[in-house]
Amino acid sequence: MKKTYYVQEYETLYMTEQLSEIDLQQLTQLARTKEDGEQYRFMVDELKEQMRLQFTSYVGVIELETIRIVIQPKFDATFERLTNMIAFSQTGIVLQMNGGQGQIGENTLFTRLIHYYVQEVQKVMRKGLKKEYVEQTSNQYQLRGRIKITENMRYNYHVPTKLYCEYDELTYDITENQQIVTVLQKIFAYPLPIDVRRSISQLLTHLQGIRQLASNTIAITYDRTNQHYKRAHQLGNFIMHHLFITNPLTTKQTPFAFLVNMNAVFEHFIRQLCQSFLPKTYTVHYTKRIRNAIMLNQQTYRQIEPDLLIQHHPTNEYVVIDAKYKGYGQQKVVNTDIYQLVFYAQYFQIDKLYYEATIIYPAYSKDEENSKTIDINAKNQPLGKIHVKSIAIEQVVEWLQQDNQKALTAYVLAWVV
């Protein structure tokens, strides 16, 4: 039976087991990421009599031939709240689980998200698959559509009984359905609970004849005819982006890893809360690149990109918010975060008597929810304030599950007023 290790993010794991060459190679490959420069999901060190794994902000599961490593977030050993955070961040809603969650071995983030994804695909199937007329060509014995003269002369000059035709075919083999088939086929290769595998197999049977996407980067525009696909596509894209390894079907238990960066999850969660629950007098801007903040010879020298800019339309003022997945309830705000927020605030609030910005950080059940204000240039001009406010993740997820919009609106509004 495969041995399972449980650790939390940022913890260190010491293993005395002798790993196979394949497992060691997989761990080494998984450790490095180039998502944001040359960084590491975790560090692997081979010591004299044991192996040391030092984990960072990545959580999830690593499945190897001989061991399983489950990396838990600090606030959620079962991954239930984290799954809801991801679902809300990606789709704007908290998904409801129907039935049990039969797992292989133990609960993992991967199996929970796959279960949710299968439910979303089943909803798409119940509402009806979209089909469109797609232009096709074929060489056939009966006229269909119109003859392609050049191709017909090339292929049929010695076969007078055939015609090379171009015609429109009503088909389910379109991008919206291909994206679903692509995700289902990929995840089906990995170890999954029996009930989930059975559901995926049934879905693939209904989707027979639909090809996989040639590229994973195809953008889909949503309208009233395909809006019911959007949540399934968003979850599917998230799963595929965070599913790592290797060579599927090479062993009985396929080595793989599903790891998500809590820094990114937390940032997207805060953004979605602001977009969903701030009053309509506010507009949330994100990934807004500013090119004229740092100049050299009247040319852009460096670009800046604040996490969140909240624009209040009645006053046309901006609130700068930065989501930091750090323990600022127990430790001081690091200098680099202060410098970053001060720069953003000064740029966007040049006409105010004093500039201010807000850091949002996570507070867990054992932590007291609090806020503090750091004064900048208290004895000089211009004056500045950095508000450091916590978010009680467990409480907010509970309100989302209860659809308590009044409480959520008041909670998020406190960040900007």
Q: How confident is the model at residue 251 (pLDDT cuts 50, 70, 90)?
A: very low
Query: Based on the domain organization, do 246 and 286 belong to the same domain?
Result: no
The CA distance from 54 to 336, in Å, is 24
Residue 249: its pLDDT value, please? 43
Please identify, among 238, 263, 288, the residue that sits at the C-terminal boundary of a domain: 263
Region of residue 176 (phi > 0: left; psi between -120 and 50: alpha; otherwise: beta) = alpha
Please identify, among 150, 171, 192, the residue that sits at the C-terminal boundary of a domain: 171
Q: Domain for residue 112, yes or no? A: yes
The rounded Cα 292 to chain-centroid distance in angstroms is 30
Burial class (CB in 10 A: 0-12, 13-18, 19+), 7: middle
What domain range is 356 assigned to?
Answer: 278-413
Residue 250: its pLDDT value, please? 46
Query: Based on the domain organization, do 246 and 376 belong to the same domain?
Result: no
Q: Look over the chain and give the mean of its residue pLDDT values, rounded to a whole number.
A: 87
Q: Domain for residue 360, yes or no? A: yes
Q: How confident is the model at residue 248 (pLDDT cuts 50, 70, 90)?
A: very low
pLDDT higher than threshold 70 for residue 151: yes
pLDDT higher than threshold 60 for residue 28: yes
Q: Domain for residue 313, yes or no? A: yes
Please identify, among 149, 171, 193, the residue that sits at the C-terminal boundary of a domain: 171
Query: Based on the domain organization, do 15 and 29 belong to the same domain?
Result: yes
Residues 6 or more apart whose CB falls under 8 angstroms from that of 41 comprise 30, 31, 32, 33, 55, 56, 58, 259, 261
The predicted-structure confidence for 199-238, as pLDDT tens digits, reads as follows 999 999 999 999 998 776 678 899 999 999 999 999 999 9
Query: Based on the domain organization, do 295 and 312 belong to the same domain?
Result: yes
Query: Based on the domain organization, do 156 and 182 belong to the same domain?
Result: no
Task: Please state the domain count of the chain.
Answer: 3
Residue 362: its pLDDT value, please? 92
Q: What is the mean pLDDT of residues 51-68?
A: 90
Would you state the structure tokens that stand for residue 41, as one six-digit string? Answer: 């999901």
Q: Domain for residue 137, yes or no? A: yes
HEC string of the chain?
CCEEEEEECCCEEEECCCCCHHHHHHHHHHHEECECECEECEEEEECCCCEEEEECCEEEEEECCCEEEEEECCCCCCCHHHHHHHHHHHHCCCCCCCCCCCCCCCCCHHHHHHHHHHHHHHHHHHHCCCCEEEEEEEEECCCCCEECHHHHHHHHCCCCCCEEEEEEEEECCCHHHHHHHHHHHHHHCCCCCHHHHHHHHHHHHHCCCCCCCCCCCCCCCCCCCCHHHHHHHHHHHHHHHCEECCCCCCCCCCCEEEEEEHHHHHHHHHHHHHHHHCCCCEEEEECCCEEEEEEECCEEEEEECCCEEEEECCCCEEEEEEECCCCCCCCCCCHHHHHHHHHHHHHHCCCCCEEEEEEEEEECCCCCCCEEEEEECCCCCCEEEEEEEEEEHHHHHHHHHHCCHHHHHHHHHCCCC
Query: Based on the domain organization, do 45 and 119 belong to the same domain?
Result: yes
pLDDT higher than threshold 60 for residue 38: no
Task: Tell me if 243 sits within 8 A of 255, measured CB to CB.
Answer: no
Task: Tell me if 177 sits within 8 A of 129, measured CB to CB.
Answer: yes
The CA distance from 190 to 257, in Å, is 10
Query: Based on the domain organization, do 159 and 116 belong to the same domain?
Result: no
Query: Based on the domain organization, do 213 and 121 belong to the same domain?
Result: yes
Query: Based on the domain organization, do 255 and 337 belong to the same domain?
Result: no
Query: Based on the domain organization, do 45 and 139 belong to the same domain?
Result: no
First-to-last alpha carbon distance for the chain, in angstroms, is: 55
Residue 52: its pLDDT value, please? 92
The predicted-structure confidence for 70-120, as pLDDT tens digits, reads as follows 999 988 888 988 999 999 999 888 766 544 443 444 568 999 999 999 999
Across 183-219, b (16+ Cβ under 10 Å) vs e yields bbebbbebbbbeebbebbeebeeebeebeeeeeeeee
Q: Domain for residue 373, yes or no? A: yes
Q: Domain for residue 319, yes or no? A: yes
Q: Domain for residue 268, yes or no? A: no
Task: Tell me if 60 sits within 8 A of 257, measured CB to CB.
Answer: yes
**Which one, of 41, 63, 73, 36, lies nearest residue 245 by Cα?**
63
Query: Based on the domain organization, do 333 and 385 belong to the same domain?
Result: yes
Query: Based on the domain organization, do 320 and 368 belong to the same domain?
Result: yes
Would you state the structure tokens that stand for residue 190, as one six-digit string? Answer: 């990995």
Q: Domain for residue 272, yes or no? A: no
Q: How confident is the model at residue 366 (pLDDT cuts 50, 70, 90)?
A: low
The predicted-structure confidence for 318-337, as pLDDT tens digits, reads as follows 999 999 999 898 889 999 99
